Amino acid sequence: MKHIIVDCDTGIDDSIAILYALKSNKLHVEGFTTVYGNTSSMQAAENTLRLIKLAKCGYDIPVLVGANESMTGDAEPYPVHIHGDNGIGNVELPESEQKPLNEDAADFIIKKAEELKGDLTIVALGRLTNIAAALEKDPRLPYKIKHMVVMGGAFHKPGNISPYAEANIYGDAKASDIVFRAGFPMTVVGLDVTMETFLSARDITLLCKYCREENREVVQYIQSALEYYFQFSYESMGCLDNSVVHDPLAMVIAEDPSIGEYRMVRAAVEYENKEFRGMIKRDEGFIPVYDHDEILYCIRVNSDLAVRRLLSVF
């Protein structure tokens, strides 16, 4: 059983990753910290609370509202054309009786790392602002956790928000650079593999037919939210009734890294040059440029197995 904190900006693909974590018998969610991105950090918390209620996972999970702007104050409009006005495809889930915990998100991450004594995995599905804030408060944080999985970055593929950058890394490039250099035991799941992993309408049709009865409402939500996501995928990439699954793939890899192949590299993130903001700078030459610890980045994944694993918990 892996103990995880999920740091998320709960949009459509985040929501599927969250539901996977709540339904997996190999993951125990210690808490959710939210960050701006697909929607505001407050709306992300509201979405997360409603998803917890929907999942009926059987244990209490705190939700904390985190950063609502980047470390440099850069503001980007929320991508309502991708995730809808409420972040989850305009699907209206029943309101939760639970409220966000009145505690600083960075403090919560530090506290859980200390409580779990090296057994905490952080799964970061959005901007890395909360993680960088926790680092500022406790520079020893990288040595207090078991691992961190980050969904973000484009190493050998073009970006999805600029020619050079992926949206999560771009959204707070300074925080990303701080985290990449900090010495975390870290796996980065970026566009190199998420853009090769698709969830189709046929997958969802079969899931509706064969899901466990107790998960029927969950699957109905997934189907409804993905209709919005599929429409964006068609309009932006010409994909017919399917879409890439960024955050769910990162969550599946957090549970079982064996479905991927990885390369070790020292990396940093450009945040001062506006044109190249969010670009991953890899130290792969013969003469090392950076002296901080290496990270793992996923270069290949068994996409079919990942999708089967994702659907299997429902």
Q: Max CA-CA distance within the chain? A: 57
Q: 170 and 278 in contact (C-beta within 8 Å)?
A: yes
Q: Is the pLDDT of residue 3 over 70?
A: yes
| pLDDT at residue 208 in the model | 96
Closest among 149, 158, 145 to 128, alpha carbons compared = 149
Helix residue spans in 8-101 (DSSP H): 12-23, 41-55, 80-83
pLDDT of residue 20: 99
Confidence band, pLDDT 50/70/90 cuts, at residue 237 = confident
286 band by pLDDT with thresholds 50, 70 and 90: low
Please name which of 120, 102, 100, 101 lies closest in space to residue 110, comparing C-alpha atoms: 120
Q: Are 246 and 154 in contact (CB under 8 A)?
A: no
Q: Name the residue among 280, 285, 286 with its Cα closest to residue 267.
A: 280
Residue 132: name the closest of 120, 119, 141 by CA.
141
Task: Quickly list DSSP for 265-283.
Answer: EEEEE--SSSTTTTBEEEE
Predicted pLDDT of residue 178: 98
Confidence of residue 69 (pLDDT cuts 50, 70, 90): very high
Strand order in the sheet with 120-124: 63-65, 27-34, 2-8, 120-124, 147-151, 186-189, 295-301, 260-269, 280-283
Q: In the block, which residue shows the tokens 């694993």? A: 309
Q: Which two tokens stand for residue 187?
A: 């796996």
* Topology of the domain covering 2-312: Inosine-uridine Nucleoside N-ribohydrolase; Chain A (3.90.245)
Lowest mean pLDDT among 39-53, 209-223, 279-293: 279-293
For the record, the structure tokens of 164 come out as: 């050079």
For 66, 85, 131, 140, 141, the CA distances from 137, given in Å and listed in that order, are 14, 34, 10, 9, 9
Say whether pLDDT at 76 is over 90: no
Compute the distance between CA of residue 205 and CA of residue 226 in angstroms, rounded to an integer.
12
Over residues 210-217, mean pLDDT:
98
Rounded to 5°, the CA angle 101-104-109 comes to 95
pTM over 0.85: yes
pLDDT score, position 293 = 86
Closest CA to 128 of 190, 44, 37: 37
For residue 102, the tally of other CB atoms under 10 A from its CB is 7
Which of 14, 104, 177, 246 is catalytic? The answer is 246
Taking the chain, what is the end-to-end CA distance rounded to the nearest angstrom? 18
Q: Say which DSSP state 165 is in.
A: B
Element (H, E) at 1: none
Read off the pLDDT of each residue in 129-156 and give the average, rounded to a whole number: 98
Stated as kind and residue range, the H or E segment containing 144 is none
Q: How confident is the model at residue 241 (pLDDT cuts 50, 70, 90)?
A: confident
Q: Is 81 a catalytic residue?
A: no
Percentage of the residues of the chain whose pLDDT score is greater than 70: 99
Residue 222, pLDDT > 70, answer yes
Per the prediction, the chain carries an average pLDDT of 96
User: What per-residue confidence (pLDDT) applies to 285?
Assistant: 67
Instruction: Say whether pLDDT at 170 is over 80.
Output: yes
Give the pLDDT band (50/70/90) at residue 287: low
As given in the structure block, the two tokens for residue 127 are 């901007």
CB proximity list for 249: less than 8 A, separation 6 or greater? 151, 189, 193, 194, 197, 301, 306, 310
Report, as an integer, the average pLDDT of 160-179.
97
Active site residue 246: yes
Helix pair angle (105-116, 129-137), 10° resolution:
70
Say which residues have a Cβ less than 8 Å from residue 253's Cβ, sequence separation at least 6. Answer: 149, 187, 189, 259, 260, 298, 301, 306
- At residue 83, the pLDDT reads 95
Given a cut of 90, whether residue 273 has pLDDT beyond it is yes
Higher pLDDT, 285 or 112: 112
Residues forming a β-bridge with 199: 243
Could you say which of 9, 177, 192, 203 is catalytic? 9
